[in-house]
Amino acid sequence: MSLSALSVWLFATGVGFVIYVQRRLARHRNRLPLPPGPRGFPVLGNVLDIPTEGMVSAFRDMNATYGDIVYLNILGQPTVILGTHSAAVDLLEKRSAIYSDRNVSTMTKLSGLDWLFGSTPYGSWWRRQRKLFHRHFNSKAILPYRPIQEQEVHRFVLRIMQEPEKFLEHIRFAVTATILRVTYGLQVSGRDDEYVVLAEATVAIQNAITVPGKYLVEVLPFLRFLPSWLPGAKFRREGKTWMPITRRMRDAPWDFTMKTIRDGSAVSSVATNLAQEMFTLEGREANEGEEISRNVAAAAYAGGADTTLSATETFFLAMAAFPESQKKAQAELDAIVGPHRLPCFSDKASLPYLTALLKECLRWKVIGPFGFPHCSTEDDEFRGHFIPKGTTVIANLWAYSRDIEYYPDPEAFKPERFLKDGKIDPDVLDPAAFVFGYGRRSCPGRHFADDALFMTAATVLHTLLISAPLDAEGHPVRLEGKMTPGLISYPEPFDVVITPRTDWAEALVRESCSMGNL
């Protein structure tokens, strides 16, 4: 070990020991015991109990051993793992007033993504941004954007018909194009468009920095002061490279929209509506209002595109892996929509099987296995145990999706589990109850994402056939469905075969796109 590396290690160990002693003293000042959990080591705590792979199943095993709530000490940082949906509701929803904070991510700051209000500490600044976002993305506010979603889905399907082997690229572009158009009124021409490149790069950066355990600086934040040239400080160099990209992603489309407002060429969008509200402010409020509006607009993509992208890729994977479910959904669409038009949003209430299928997609491959960790702002008592102020609280959403109390035979793909007498069964837990988070930190863009996923799935199933590739002997290849690590998880790259379902299906798509939609 070099002298510089040894110095860093000794310093880190010393700081960790001080934190450890402080936490031990704080614990003894409280009569209630901490929640149960594996016995850790001095200074290190339970670091060695956390695997680099298979973390969700490891945490589920801990909950099976110790109960609904497990306590871990991560280098002095108190951490609680919630093993059941009911425990998460009790803490993160019913006590959201003290469990809505965030531990500030060092890599989020270094990479220039600290403007994302989803990562902002709980307080007035966060509340103002969340309130503004909700006002422009609640279930009623997004209704005017449904025609855009329909048009972009039709474009998406036509591109797949033309280049089916590039379906994953087309999914990414469609998600980006839709959100940029709704948010900024931007109509992008292709994947090499500057705004598309910026948006996709920002999501890639966000995915990179949220892989659990990837960056030691997240556990030992003081390491951010290391010189970038020092061995082990690669994170500093990465942050320096990424910050100009993420800042420009926030600023460039906003500045474009403001320019169109000034020259009179603006198209109605979320950004123009935000600007109209902003223009009524004066002085300091105007300056703060612009920054908040700029952040909120950018968060619509950077904070929401990844979830829509993951869910859409999972849908394609499921349809190829489970052809019987695909056939049932297509039969329902044939009966309700018929061969003379494409699906529309008003069809949704008449498509219970498709609705159940999408719920099963969300449950089968959870978008964010852990969600985004919460943080407590006060000391608390829960089920006879003491939870210190500043505790990181992790909800194991993946474990909830596998809870046999709610979902018997959880590894099977069964849309029927959500149906009873041909209708959605309200007694079965909707995965949206946990997939989109809890309490005041639940995803404020979930309604837009739900609309996007429904329109994509309905149109794709009505017009396309998705199947697994065949092996050398003519048998369908088994699709493993492995997921990437990270706070947002995606299916690992996979291949499918996509063809137009019928001649009339292809004709409907081409006709729609020729009427000014493409």
212 pLDDT band (50/70/90 cuts)?
A: confident
Rg (CA), the chain: 24
Share of the chain above pLDDT 70, in %: 94
Q: 506, exposed or middle or buried, with CB in 10 Å at 0-12, 13-18, 19+?
A: middle
CB-based contact 156:137 (threshold 8 Å): no
Q: DSSP letters along 309-378, please? A: HHHHHHHHHHHHH-HHHHHHHHHHHHHHT-TTS---GGGGGG-HHHHHHHHHHHHHS-SSTT-S-EE-SS
- Confirm if 153 and 461 have CB atoms less than 8 A apart: no
pLDDT score of 23: 53
7 inside domain: no
Q: Is residue 112, in this structure, part of any structural domain at all?
A: no
- Cα 195 to Cα 113: distance, rounded to the nearest angstrom: 17
User: Would you say residue 491 lies in a domain?
Assistant: yes
- Helix (H) or strand (E) holding 183, with range, is helix 167-184
Which CATH number belongs to the domain containing residue 496 in this structure? 1.10.630.10
Tokens of 23: 């936490």
**Residue 373 Ramachandran class (φ > 0 left, ψ -120 to 50 alpha, else beta):** beta
- Which residues lie below 8 Å from residue 327, measured CB to CB, with a gap of 6+? none
434-470 pLDDT tens trace: 999 999 999 999 999 999 999 999 999 999 999 999 9
- d(CA 453, CA 486) in angstroms, rounded, equals 21
pLDDT at 296 over 70: yes
Residue 170 lies in a domain: yes
pLDDT of 287: 83
More confident residue, 119 or 146: 146
Mean pLDDT over the full length of the chain: 91
The backbone torsions φ and ψ at residue 41, rounded to the nearest 5 degrees and listed phi first, read -105, 155
Q: What is the pLDDT of residue 159?
A: 97
Q: Flag whether 397 is in a domain.
A: yes
What's the CA angle centered on 299, arms 362 and 368, to 5 degrees?
Answer: 25
pLDDT at residue 251 greater than cutoff 80: yes
pLDDT band at 302 (very low <50, low <70, confident <90, very high): confident
The reported pTM is: 0.90
**Residue set of the binding site for heme:** 443
Strands 77-82 and 374-375: what pairing?
unpaired
Q: Which amino acid is at 373?
A: P
pLDDT digits over 117-137, tens only?
A: 888 999 999 999 999 999 999
Structural domain total, the chain: 1
pLDDT in tens, 69-111: 999 998 889 999 999 999 999 999 999 999 999 988 899 999 9
Q: Is residue 66 part of a domain?
A: no
* % helix, strand, coil for the chain, step of 5: 55, 10, 35
In a domain, 395, yes or no: yes
Name the least confident of 234-243, 301-310, 395-404, 423-432. Answer: 301-310
Would 102 be classed as within a structural domain? Answer: no
Residue 281 has pLDDT above 90, yes or no: no
Binding site membership: which residues?
443
Q: How far apart are CA 256 and CA 276, in angstroms?
A: 15
Its domain, for residue 306, covers 127-517
